[in-house]
Homo-oligomer: A and B are copies of this chain.
């Protein structure tokens, strides 16, 4: 890992996201060089531990997230306020966010911002095959599945022939050795770069069900800002209707 930090210093990067394991061993060097460290977690306990290690902010993801949700199935709607109540550093929310309504909902629960992965995959700039982007536009919110919970590494991926097979094998008690030929990242490349939708497993969050079109990143951000304004005004109108 230290060689990555050397590159970050060389390239004058200011903000680092750590995740997947405790950032403890990296913290002295990261702090020595003045990085802002965001640590991503999938449960409240790890958020509390990371705060103690001196990270600057927490990114917490709920069960809706593509990639790695927690071992349980706690939704972002509950996980996020629990994290906000449990640490004193800023919390950024992930898992289920794809638009400006979601951004305002995260703020309402005490987050300082959101992270989006799935939504940015369906942008014109994303360096993945057009077939994947088109699938994302047509997919709905039930078209993902969490696999690898049985082997302690839960992963939310798009529903396809391979993830269905992995799910089936896991239910039959398959070992990690039996699953590796199916879950290997080598196969995922067939999806991303060759556009073979059943080529392997690939991370995808439930928010895929909310994606309606492939935009440029610029258009997407502008749209999110506009949606956030609309969402805020909707809340305001409902509060005013109570007062009057």
- B-binding residues in A (CB < 8 A): 43-44, 62-64, 72-79, 81-82, 85, 95-97, 99, 101-102, 104-110, 112, 140-142, 146, 206-207, 209-210, 228, 231-232, 234-236, 238-239
Contacts and interface: CB of A to CB of B under 8 A. Distances in A.
Oligomeric state, in copies: 2
Given A75-B206, A77-B77, 12 more contacts: A63-B73, A64-B74, A73-B146, A75-B75, A78-B210, A79-B141, A101-B110, A102-B109, A104-B235, A105-B106, A108-B232, A232-B236
Q: Is the interface of A mostly helix, strand, loop or mixed?
A: helix
A74 B206 contact: yes
Contacts of A207: 78
A63 B81 contact: no
Contacts of A81: 99, 101-102, 210
**Residue in A107, A112, A207 whose Cβ sees the most chain B Cβ within 10 Å:** A107
19 contacts: A43-B142, A62-B75, A64-B74, A64-B75, A64-B78, A73-B73, A73-B146, A74-B142, A75-B76, A75-B96, A77-B96, A77-B102, A81-B210, A82-B140, A102-B109, A108-B235, A110-B234, A112-B238, A232-B236
